[in-house]
Amino acid sequence: MSPLLPAWFTLLAAAAVFSVMLSLGLLLGREQIAAALQRRMVIGAILFAVVIPVPALAVLFVKLLGLKGPVAAGIVLMAISPGAPVALRRAIDVGGHARFAPALHLAIVMLAVVTVPTSVLILDLIFQKDFAVSPLVIARQVFFAQLLPLGIGAAVRAFLPAAAAWLEPRLARFANFLLLVFLFACIYALWPLLAGIGWVPAVAGVVLTVCALSVGAAFAGRDADARPAAAVAAAMRNPGLALVIATVNRFPSSVTAAVFGYAIGAAVVVTVFVAWWGRARRAGERGRERP
């Protein structure tokens, strides 16, 4: 998190993310690895969708609208930062294959160690700015925010499966509560900055997230089980990674506001998508049950 944010805000964000990833780690087992091996081509296609078309659309959006300064920086930083911690939970909630979605998320966050610094170098050339971030910095953020709690949860599942089965739904409810608290904390702590930066980042989050949902679903091809997870994985970007890049490059606080503005717009779209897809799935199941 950015040092420009208050300490309590950073601690709340860390607790919420750690709880989410720990609860998801309790779902990880050997079946996830088997599911990934069975869908190697699909995972490869979705990874391409996450890394190439979505950031390209954001750069095009910024260029076409002539956006500059903190607004443009926040939008582009979010677009190149994949693997949001809550993406896996949202993918499972929307009906994403419970065995496939975790493998896809792990592939995305591990690949981010390479793709994010590479994307920063490309942006440096496009916008002619002196941006930089090392793979080590990205790896450290990914490890402590996501891989460590996932690994702890997976270890509990492997050695104490009964405890993991009992703990997971309870921890998931607690994590969802912390996320809700964090959302209100974002509005409270960042409202002056969000008001000052305007609505453009939020609108960009809405527009680009709708596009990313379509891109992710399209790259899943005919694999219906993978399609919802692919859509959510492509749409949800990681504000934690975006803020790491902003901090390393000493961007102003207005960039932090633009990042969270985008994140709020994206969260609204994904929430609507999850509700719509879940309703459509339940309607389809009821239709199949009728004689």
pLDDT above 90 (res 279) = no
Q: Is 69 left (phi over 0), alpha (psi -120 to 50) or beta?
A: left
Write down the pLDDT at residue 204: 96
pLDDT tens for residues 248-261? 888 888 898 899 99
Please report which confidence band the pLDDT of residue 60 belongs to, taking 50, 70 and 90 as the band edges: very high
Res. 190: pLDDT tops 90? no
Mean predicted confidence (pLDDT) in 152-161: 90
DSSP lists the bridge partners of residue 82 as 237
Task: Give CA–CA dist 272/240, Å, rounded.
Answer: 23
The total number of residues shown for the chain amounts to 291
**Segment 197-221, tens digit of pLDDT:** 889 999 999 999 999 999 999 998 8
The answer to whether 171 and 15 have CB atoms below 8 angstroms apart is no
pLDDT value at residue 276: 87
Ordered by start, the domain boundaries in the chain are: 7-282
pLDDT for 210: 97
pLDDT, position 75:
95
The two structure tokens encoding residue 181: 């608290």
- Are the C-beta atoms of 236 and 271 separated by less than 8 Å? no
Tell me the two tokens of residue 254: 């207005």
Assess whether pLDDT exceeds 50 at residue 146: yes
The whole-model pTM stands at 0.85
The single residue listed with the structure tokens 């504000």 is: 239
Q: Which fold has domain 7-282?
A: Na+/H+ antiporter like fold (1.20.1530)
Q: What is the predicted pLDDT for the residue at 284?
A: 61
| pLDDT tens, residue by residue, 92-140 | 766 555 567 777 888 888 888 888 988 888 888 887 777 777 788 888 8
Q: Are 17 and 85 in contact (CB under 8 A)?
A: yes
pLDDT for the residue numbered 218: 94
| Residues sharing a CB contact under 8 Å with residue 280, sequence separation 6 or more, in sequence order | none
